[in-house]
Chains A and B, each alone.
Chain A
């Protein structure tokens, strides 16, 4: 004997909750990141008016680990990562959530996001340090980075990284193991993402002006790349 009954928890349909939370929050966070960056870009006196171009000073002090933390703006970089990489990583986050127990949905998303963002922050620090070491920064440097990014797109290593973006790991049901697995999945997905998009993000670090417009362009490339997304079937 089989029959279906609507399942109601906390006054609403539990499966509706599954669908809406926390993926919907992710959409809001990504939209907020874009909104903040757009507002900053339109404000000539705003802290983010030049986005990352202003973290490279005209007269550079001697390079050290200490001052790279000073010049590298972690919150700004994090916002940029959330805005640019967020749309592309949503499927992985969704996978983490739906493969977790309902009461762990929020935690699973948080652990995944933490692992993902920490890797990108580390990449930003290292990338920023490398950019500081360049003899000259400007449109030539950025153009060179873009050419390199275009070449990288066609390499088998890039393809390997894209494939790695589409691999998941077993996610335990509950306990500390589940949290570690969520975090690990975020880290692994971010490493694959870094491998796939690192050259483009280095170019972002070298953008002298119109940073926001370049962000839009690169985000479009990242999320609509034929080897990354499924536009051949859409």
Chain B
């Protein structure tokens, strides 16, 4: 009989609970192993991604920017957890050990990285294997991840699994090579948390070297589980063979798909947009003739669903921070107003590999798509929907919150790399 294991919230584990210490010991033991050992830290991280060349066939296997994202990482976590548990038991730790999760969206101070990951040395003076110096210094000093990037609401509110605007992401296809299929969960909070922590976590080739990576992904897996529980009628059938080195693993299928693939272009930004770490507002012009056809004379705005697409995003490197995306945001806005106008985030985790993929994977465009119908509905009720000729899309760098016990204002601008981000087009679609 298979023994069930329980993953606990790293922030609410009882004082003295051995799971975190056991994890630290196991990480140290795995880091001491030779990289060629499949149970070593380096090898396990390289399965996700590595800059080491030549690469082994089992390395650089991570799946991003598509509906494969959640299932691949669930499998990855499952085997990693087994390896760590074996190490924990070998070290004399608890036999029921399971990977804790970091619920950064759980309120209170849970948006801060757990204490065990912040200090380079342990209480006994030994080096702390959970500490990584190559993180955003604000994170290591106890700065909280902003709720705008930790929120699972965008993902959990999606009714479907499949589709680039839906929970899991779209299906990569030769028919859509110019489309980024990143789903809402992968974008927020997954990519956003990667980017905000930065350093090793800021790129797929190094992310799994940081021990917090695994707690982050345990949380992502938990959010998927929550979505699965609340969508029992969505059929996810294990019918098709996974094309990777794990022949038993299957990919999910779903008969329903987001209707954005059948949408109609109604508006777009005029010029290429350049983001340089400052607030930038871009008017998205709606085509008059198309809108006249769509809008009934007596209606306030087109009936149906609206989608916003950020297309042709390019950057030489991931700038290691996140831009919030807002619709018709007033110049001065408090937290509640920000939340009302917030439709998603733009973070460039993995952009390097999107342009130059490994292992014969496909190069693809980088961008994100989101449904904005609900936000437009709210703005319409509020009277914030303009005359119908354009909407304003604002990109706002999201700053890390200062530690509660500090007067210091921690700004992401003190850390981020100055890599400009270029957006080819922002478009509005109707279906």
Interface residues of A (CB under 8 A from B): 1-5, 7, 9, 14-15, 18-19, 90-92, 94-95, 98-103, 162-163, 165-174, 226-233
Contact = CB atoms under 8 A, between A and B. Distances in A.
A168 B377 CA distance: 32
B223 interface: no
Given A2-B377, A172-B268, A229-B174, A99 B427 contact: yes
B305 interface: yes
A229 B175 CA distance: 8
A173 B312 contact: no
Contacts of B290: 101-103
Place the interface of chain B in its size category: 35 or more
A227 B360 contact: yes
Contacts of A227: 360, 362
B327 to A, nearest CB: 16
Given A15-B431, A170-B424, A163 B175 contact: no
Interface in B248-300: 262, 264-268, 270, 272, 285, 287, 289-290, 293-294
B311 A101 contact: no
Contacts of B360: 226-227, 232
Contacts of A162: 363
A170 B177 contact: no
Most buried by B among A15, A18, A163, A170: A170
Most buried by A among B173, B360, B363: B363
Contacts of B377: 1-2
B177 A165 contact: yes
Contact of B311 (A15, A18, A103, A170): A170
Contacts of B363: 162-163, 166-167
B362 to A, nearest CB: 6
A5 B243 contact: no
B265 A5 contact: no
B303 interface: yes
Contacts of B173: 230, 233
A233 B425 contact: no
7 contacts: A5-B304, A7-B294, A14-B293, A18-B262, A91-B175, A163-B363, A169-B312
B293 to A, nearest CB: 6
A172 B426 CA distance: 10
A233 B243 contact: yes
